[in-house]
């Protein structure tokens, strides 16, 4: 029983990975349309200190945006900001600390942001981690569940009024959730979101990414029903050569290196789907999509389960101490 619960998610995750790599053998990345200037617009990119988050922040700043990099690596953040500000003549970047394994830190970050009285046009929930051995956050949550999903759930909800205020018809505010093909392998057990019964890091990662997709669809329904000029989309960057793979087992690391150099996308290529979702004119007012290779794509059957979306939303509100809207 234990062996099956660990082996099945692992195999399912690797099958997802192989399918993505087969696709990437023939498709490098998609062709980005010309993006409009983003002057006067403000974005928050979580985990923008390196990898795809950095490339996203960099690209948005080059379009004229004021980008706030929200992350837990102060030195990396300072270096990222220096580099972006040196390169970008119109936009700018700054670093603000947030540790997404702490709900208190998320609340502090939001308070600091609110104190600035800035508008907010784009929120990119990008930060993440993968295949972490079993551990709990300071609030007692499973690590992937909290960092990849629950903190972003809280962050988004606490910033929603600003996003609503900043969005206009014809120029919506945009929320982008960084999903992954691994969500296709994901399952959600609402009674054991923190994976206390049997722990598998593969199942925990896939669950966190499925949760982000369910959250995307449910939130879009609410925003549409309320008539707000805010959209929310989930994006899938493919397989990208970043530090995310640092927790792979040694043998998998060794096998990954030659494959990654040929078949994985670069961080800039991977980031292009977030940049596209954040800035493309053709996506203005378009939400509730799973975007992959520049196209709306079908996500897993489970992600469209309306009852599951509603239940997860309700449970997440309870876990972070939010009143259900
Ligand atoms: N690399 C891939 O193949 C791939 C594929 C699909 C989805 N993704 C997703 O893309 C996102 C970006 O990952 P990446 O591949 O660029 O990896 P990365 O490791 O280069 O970047 C992860 C970012 O998250 C930040 N982060 C980690 N822990 C944090 C914490 N406690 N608080 C705040 N920030 C924290 C890191 O500092 C870093 O900036 C992740 O959500 C990942 O799951 C990656």
Residue located nearest, by CA, to atom 23 of ligand 1: 47
Q: How many residues does the chain have?
A: 325
Catalytic positions? 205
Share of the chain above pLDDT 90, in %: 85
ipTM of this model?
0.99
Our mutation pick for probing the ligand 1 site, out of 14, 21, 47, counting the most ligand atoms within 8 A of Cβ, is 47
Q: Are 54 and 79 in contact (CB under 8 A)?
A: no
Q: Is the pLDDT of residue 171 over 90?
A: yes
| Cross-strand pairs, 71 | 97
Render pLDDT for 59-103 as a digit per residue (tens, 0 to 9). 999 999 999 999 999 999 999 999 999 998 899 999 999 999 999
Q: Are 267 and 240 in contact (CB under 8 A)?
A: yes
Tokens of 229: 């000029």
Ligand 1 binding pocket (C-beta < 6 A) is 46-47, 49-53, 71-73, 98-101, 126-130, 147-148, 178, 180, 237, 239-240, 242-244
How far, in Å, from the CA of 182 to the mean position of ligand 1? Answer: 14
CA 83 to chain centroid: 23
Pick from 148, 186, 154, 133: nearest CA to 53: 148
What pLDDT score does 36 carry? 97
What pLDDT score does 13 carry? 86
Residue located nearest, by CA, to atom 1 of ligand 1: 240
Q: Is the pLDDT of residue 2 over 80?
A: no
How far, in Å, from the CA of 1 to the mean position of ligand 1? Answer: 31
Q: Is the pLDDT of residue 5 over 90?
A: no
Q: Is the pLDDT of residue 136 over 80?
A: yes
- Region 136-160 average pLDDT: 97
Q: Is the pLDDT of residue 1 over 90?
A: no
Render pLDDT for 15-47 as a digit per residue (tens, 0 to 9). 888 899 999 998 878 899 999 999 999 999 999
Residues 164, 130: Cα–Cα separation, whole Å:
32
Residue located nearest, by CA, to atom 20 of ligand 1: 51
How far, in Å, from the CA of 41 to the mean position of ligand 1? Answer: 24
* 60 φ, ψ (degrees, to nearest 5): -65, -40
How far, in Å, from the CA of 127 to the mean position of ligand 1? Answer: 4
What average pLDDT is seen over the chain? 95
**Which burial class, exposed, middle or buried, applies to 88 when counting CB atoms under 10 A from its CB (0-12, 13-18, 19+)?**
buried
- Region 6-10 average pLDDT: 82
- Region 299-324 average pLDDT: 96
More reliable by pLDDT, 213 or 14: 213
Q: Are 121 and 174 in contact (CB under 8 A)?
A: yes
Residues 245, 235: Cα–Cα separation, whole Å:
19
What pLDDT score does 89 carry? 84
What pLDDT score does 325 carry? 65
Q: Is the pLDDT of residue 178 over 80?
A: yes
| Cross-strand pairs, 105 | none
How far, in Å, from the CA of 324 to the mean position of ligand 1? Answer: 28
Reduced to 3 states (helix: H, G, I; strand: E, B; else coil), residue 68 is strand
Q: Residues 232-254, buried b or exposed e (16+ Cβ, 10 A)? A: bbbbbbbbbbbebbeeeeeeeee
Torsion of CA 216, 221, 227, 228, to 10 degrees: -10
Q: Is the pLDDT of residue 162 over 90?
A: yes
Domains assigned to the chain: 36-239+268-320 (3.40.50.720)
In the structure, what pLDDT confidence band is assigned to residue 216 with cuts at 50, 70 and 90? very high
Render pLDDT for 252-262 as a digit per residue (tens, 0 to 9). 888 888 999 99
Q: Is the pLDDT of residue 130 over 80?
A: yes
Residues 203, 278: Cα–Cα separation, whole Å:
29
Render pLDDT for 188-197 as a digit per residue (tens, 0 to 9). 999 989 888 8
Residues 232, 216: Cα–Cα separation, whole Å:
6
| Cross-strand pairs, 42 | 66
* 95 φ, ψ (degrees, to nearest 5): -110, 135
Residues 65, 86: Cα–Cα separation, whole Å:
14
Pick from 175, 171, 197, 202: nearest CA to 186: 202
In the structure, what pLDDT confidence band is assigned to residue 217 with cuts at 50, 70 and 90? very high
CA distances from 57 to 129, 153, 216 (A): 18, 21, 21
Our mutation pick for probing the ligand 1 site, out of 52, 206, 236, counting the most ligand atoms within 8 A of Cβ, is 52
Residues 129, 145: Cα–Cα separation, whole Å:
10
């Amino acid at each position: 029983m234990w062996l099956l619960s660990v082996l099945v998610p692992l195999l399912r995750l690797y099958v997802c990975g192989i399918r993505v790599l087969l696709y990437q053998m023939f498709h490098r990345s998609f062709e980005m349309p010309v993006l409009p200037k983003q002057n006067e617009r403000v974005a928050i990119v979580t985990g923008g200190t390196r990898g795809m988050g950095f490339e996203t922040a960099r690209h948005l700043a080059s379009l004229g945006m004021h980008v706030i990099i929200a992350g837990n690596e102060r030195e990396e953040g300072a270096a990222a900001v220096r580099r972006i500000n040196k390169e970008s003549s119109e936009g700018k970047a700054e670093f603000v600390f947030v540790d997404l394994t702490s709900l208190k830190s998320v609340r502090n970050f939001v308070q600091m942001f609110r104190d600035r009285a800035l508008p907010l046009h784009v929120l990119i929930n990008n930060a993440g981690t993968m295949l972490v051995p079993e551990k709990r956050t300071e609030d007692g949550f499973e690590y992937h569940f909290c960092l990849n999903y629950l903190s972003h759930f809280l962050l988004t909800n606490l910033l929603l009024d600003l996003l609503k205020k900043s969005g206009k018809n014809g120029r919506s505010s945009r929320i982008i959730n960084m999903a992954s093909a691994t969500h296709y392998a994901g399952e959600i057990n609402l009674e054991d979101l923190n994976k206390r019964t049997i722990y598998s890091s593969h199942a925990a990662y896939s669950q966190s990414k499925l949760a982000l997709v369910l959250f995307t669809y449910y939130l879009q329904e609410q925003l549409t029903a309320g008539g707000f000029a805010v959209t929310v989309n989930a994006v899938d960057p493919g397989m990208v050569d970043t530090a995310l793979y640092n927790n792979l087992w040694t043998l998998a690391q060794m096998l990954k290196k030659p494959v990654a150099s040929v078949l994985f996308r670069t961080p800039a290529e991977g980031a292009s789907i977030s940049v596209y979702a954040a800035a493309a004119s053709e996506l203005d007012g378009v939400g509730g999509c799973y975007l992959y290779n520049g196209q709306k794509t079908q996500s897993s059957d489970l992600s469209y389960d309306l009852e599951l979306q509603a239940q997860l939303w309700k449970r997440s509100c309870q876990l972070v101490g939010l009143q259900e809207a």
